C-alpha cells in the first residue's frame, strides 16, 4: 500500500476539478442541467424555501450532475474501448443515459413537490 501524501491528495482534487470543467465546458446536456440549476436556485431564493427544502434541492442538483458525469465517463470509455459500432457498447451508453434521465425525473418531481404549493400560494395572494 502506498504511503499517504497530502501532495497526491491535492493533485486528486486538481484532476477532479479538471473533470468538472470538462463536463460543464464540453457536454451539452450538462449545460442544460446547469441552466436548470440556475433557475431552481433563483426560484429557491424568490420563494424563500426553508433549510430542508434547500437540502433536497442541493441533493437533487448534485445527484443529476453526478449522474451526468458518470454518463460522460462511461461514454468516453466506451468510445475508447469500441470506436466502431458495437451493439453492446450502444446498450451500455443507453443504460447510462437512462440513469441520467431517471435522476432528472426524480429531481424534477422533488422540485414540483417543493415549488407548486409556493407558486399556487403566490397566485392566490395576487
Angle between helices 87-125 and 51-81 (to 10 degrees): 160
What phi and psi, each to the nearest 5 degrees, are found at residue 4?
-60, 140
pTM here is 0.91
- The pLDDT tens digits for 14-60 are 999 999 999 999 999 999 999 999 999 999 999 999 999 999 999 99
Query: Is the pLDDT reported for residue 2 higher than 90?
Result: no
- Domain boundaries of the chain, sorted by first residue: 8-125
CA distances from 82 to 2, 65, 77, 86, 105 (A): 33, 25, 8, 7, 30
For 107-119, give the secondary structure using H, E and C.
Answer: HHHHHHHHHHHHH
Please list the helix, strand and coil fractions of the chain in percent, rounded to the nearest 5, in that order: 85, 0, 15
Residues 39 and 33: their CA atoms lie apart, in Å, by 10
Q: Does domain 8-125 have CATH number 1.10.287.3610?
A: yes
Q: Which residues are marked as active site?
A: 68
68 Cα distance to chain centroid: 5
Q: Provide the pLDDT confidence category of residue 1 given band limits of 50, 70 and 90.
A: confident
Mean pLDDT of the chain: 96
Supply 25's cell numbers. Answer: 465546458
Tell me the torsion sign for CA atoms 48, 50, 54, 56: negative
Sequence-separated (6 or more) residues with CB below 8 Å from residue 32 = none
Amino acid at each position: 500500500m502506498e504511503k499517504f501524501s497530502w501532495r497526491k491528495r491535492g493533485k486528486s482534487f486538481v484532476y477532479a476539478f479538471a473533470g468538472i470543467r470538462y463536463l460543464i465546458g464540453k457536454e451539452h446536456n450538462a449545460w442544460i442541467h446547469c441552466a436548470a440549476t440556475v433557475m431552481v436556485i433563483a426560484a429557491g431564493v424568490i420563494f424563500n424555501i426553508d433549510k430542508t427544502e434547500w437540502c433536497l434541492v442541493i441533493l437533487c442538483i448534485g445527484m443529476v450532475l453526478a449522474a451526468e458525469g458518470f454518463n460522460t465517463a462511461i461514454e468516453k470509455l466506451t468510445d475508447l474501448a469500441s470506436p466502431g459500432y458495437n451493439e453492446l457498447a450502444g446498450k451500455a451508453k443507453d443504460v447510462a443515459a437512462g440513469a441520467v434521465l431517471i435522476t432528472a425525473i426524480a429531481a424534477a418531481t422533488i422540485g414540483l413537490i417543493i415549488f407548486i404549493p409556493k407558486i399556487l400560494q403566490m397566485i392566490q395572494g395576487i
